[in-house]
């Protein structure tokens, strides 16, 4: 039997942007990302999308995908809640990184109240009904027609265990060693790859995961969310302090690589990962 050099170690789907998700054994790949990934988000009273940047306690809430795109919500001190996909209706724009995106407000007052009570600020739960037409990928790196869900900028994020090990070694040698080693959930990836060498993903311009091919347009610039402990919602200095010293590319502090599907299919834990370009 052939030995696979690289393979999928884990898959992650986050149905609600900035809320904890699930780790399925397999998931369908759609043109705009993994099925069910980041199709929901929270918007404040000003219409701006809220993330862990502003509300680190979002890390402690969890959304599980259900049939038909519905989600099951849970959070400390809150009753469990199921929210169905809203019926097509009046589109309402929200703002994400200064860009307007048309969404449909959840037809569930209980969901708005649930999140508002949990976070202590008024918010509404919104759903991206049609990623195929609602939100294009960053035109600086996109090919015509490429779209994305409510992820920050690109359909998927891939990381490697070897790069996390290398980063944790650097953190241990830095001025906040007590904060390490960091787990992979700090980076909220979609695909985690085992068997690669450290930082190999920097050069993945085109890869195949199982039978699905992806473009790798750029490294992923990291933000303050990576300093948030995903099990306590407490913030520290790492990994941004260490990334700033060792992984600075222009204005970006890089860890992981953005991926854009060039086709559709199903990917699974254990699938072989092959570098094509």
The reported pTM is 0.96
Secondary structure letter of residue 68 according to DSSP: G
Q: What per-residue confidence (pLDDT) applies to 108? A: 93
Q: What per-residue confidence (pLDDT) applies to 2? A: 41
Give dist(CA 64, CA 11) in Å, integer: 14
Give me the phi and psi of 236, to 5 degrees please: -130, -155
Burial track 174-183 (b if 16+ CB lie within 10 A, e otherwise): beeeebbebe
Give dist(CA 53, CA 159) in Å, integer: 21
Q: What per-residue confidence (pLDDT) applies to 1? A: 33
Q: What per-residue confidence (pLDDT) applies to 126? A: 98
Q: What per-residue confidence (pLDDT) applies to 4? A: 57
How do 49-50 and 40-44 pair as beta strands? Answer: antiparallel
Give dist(CA 23, CA 89) in Å, integer: 31
Q: Are 31 and 134 in contact (CB under 8 A)?
A: no
pLDDT along the chain (277 residues), means of 10: 76 98 98 97 97 98 96 98 93 94 96 98 96 89 94 96 98 98 98 98 98 97 98 98 97 97 98 97
Give dist(CA 97, CA 48) in Å, integer: 8
**What pLDDT digit, counting tens, does each position of 50-90 carry?**
999 999 999 999 999 999 999 999 999 999 999 999 998 88
């Amino acid at each position: 039997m052939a030995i696979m050099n690289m393979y999928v170690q884990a898959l992650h789907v986050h149905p609600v942007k900035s809320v904890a998700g699930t780790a399925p054994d397999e998931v369908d790949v759609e043109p705009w990302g993994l099925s069910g990934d980041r199709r929901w988000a929270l918007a404040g009273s000003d219409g701006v999308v809220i993330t862990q940047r502003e509300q680190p306690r979002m890390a402690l809430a969890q959304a599980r995908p259900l049939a038909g795109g519905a989600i099951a919500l849970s959070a400390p001190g809150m009753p469990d809640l199921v929210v169905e996909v809203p019926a097509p209706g009046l589109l309402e724009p929200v703002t994400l990184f200064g860009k307007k995106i048309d969404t449909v407000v959840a037809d569930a007052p209980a969901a708005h109240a649930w999140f508002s009570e949990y976070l202590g600020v008024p918010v509404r739960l919104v759903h991206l009904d049609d990623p195929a037409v609602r939100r294009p990928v960053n035109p600086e790196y996109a090919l015509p027609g490429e779209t994305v869900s409510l992820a920050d900028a690109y359909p998927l994020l891939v990381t490697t265990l070897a790069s996390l090990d290398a980063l944790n070694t650097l953190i241990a040698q830095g001025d906040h060693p007590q904060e390490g080693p960091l787990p992979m959930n700090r980076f909220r990836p979609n695909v985690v790859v085992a068997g690669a060498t450290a930082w190999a993903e920097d050069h993945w311009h085109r890869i195949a995961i199982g039978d699905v091919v992806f473009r790798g347009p750029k490294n992923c610039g990291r933000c303050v969310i990576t300093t948030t402990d995903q099990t306590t919602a407490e913030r520290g200095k790492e990994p941004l302090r260490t990334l700033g010293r060792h992984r600075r590319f222009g204005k970006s502090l890089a860890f992981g690589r953005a991926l854009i599907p060039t086709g559709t299919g199903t990917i699974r834990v254990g699938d072989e990962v092959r570098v094509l370009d």
